[in-house]
Structure 1
Amino acid sequence: LHMTVDDSINFFSQGINLADKEHNSERKIIEKLKPLQETGLGYVHLGQSSSTLSGGEAQRVKLAFFLSMGASAAPTLFIFDEPTTGLHFHDIKKLLKAYDALIDKGHSLVVIEHNPEIIKSADWIIDLGPEGGDKGGEIVFEGTPENLVKNEQSYTGKYLKDKIKAKVK
């Protein structure tokens, strides 16, 4: 239980052909752990208490559980609140792939996020502002990331301008 998810997957897949029936136990273990790895949780220890997980990590554990259900789950609306908090850039890309997997299975996502990689990957953005706190709360923009950068009132759009250009190139 001291191994990480990544270490466990490596351990149980060493020197075996997962297609062989004689390695059925190893394959089952790997299949259970893979969704955790695919949502950027490869660094979590198997015996780690859930009370030590951050809010973003706990959300990704739930996401991994849902991904492990496969196509059997009915279309669902997922709401994620800043799931990238504390994530390494490499793991954010894994999270985006997990989001794509949910969308491909017919689910919908609402993500509250400040991370530019997540924002620029969105299909649709609702930008609140113009400021924070009691000077915010108004819809400044609603639309695609490419149109967000054209909005003069959006601080988010100004911040993403160079990142969106890099995406389009």
Structure 2
Amino acid sequence: MYVLDEPSIGLHQRDNERLLGTLKHLRDLGNTVIVVEHDEDAIRHADHIVDMGPGAGEHGGEIVAEGNLADILACAGSLTGQYLAGAQAIALPRERRQPREGRVLKLTGASGNNLRDVTLALPTGIMVCVTGVSGSGKSTLINDTLHAALANMLNGAALEPAPFTAIDGEEFFDKIVNVDQSPIGRTPRSNPATYTGLFTPIRELFAGTPQARERGYEPGRFSFNVKGGRCEACQGDGMIKVEMHFLPDIYVPCDVCHGQRYNRETLEVEYKGRNIH
């Protein structure tokens, strides 16, 4: 048996066709192949389909439809089937946004990896899609070259962009934000304050209080990600996971810290009447 979790992520349609061919070849050899997928081609090529739903999270957890493609298309309660049958669709915009006149971002002479002296002219003020088969140079052109160069110019970064000759039009932008697929936080305990770096000065603030200095507490004492100041019973989670056989796991407040994530000594340190929790 082979189990694959969304193998089509990031693949061009051409490469997706090759992937499906490989999966069907494994099946033809006598193997059972189970694929967790959203991709339409993968669903249509499957011999048997299990559609979960009807919604997500607490609104899901049921098998809405099961069978071959015709069975899924005929199921009125299957949202997947409705989209596959064309009863529902993502509507295209009636009007396309026009680019800002006279404002073009131009990258000249990009030659990183397999790029061959590429000149790229991007209109501004609109959504631009850069596509192509896997390995064609999309990431090198946009991530390694354009983003890295503009981050240095606009954000004061110190990245090393792939080779290029010039960039024109950077004056039309005040900053560049790169949203990639890397995890936001290092641990599941991270939160918006740790993501943005706000929690660092907060921990330093508590470490600078007279009570913390008397006890020799450093900023790390006020982190729930490391040993020292956190509650070790729940390891700084504030919640305890209870495994339920044949049922979803449940989470209950920690009996030691009562959801406060820190041990008693750490919570005794206050700044203007408030502790780190």
Q: What TM-score do you get using the length of structure 1 for normalisation?
A: 0.50
Flag the structure with larger Rg: 2
Greater helix proportion: 1
Report 1 or 2 for greater relative contact order, CA contacts < 8 Å, sequence distance ≥ 6: 1
Q: TM-score, normalised by structure 2?
A: 0.31
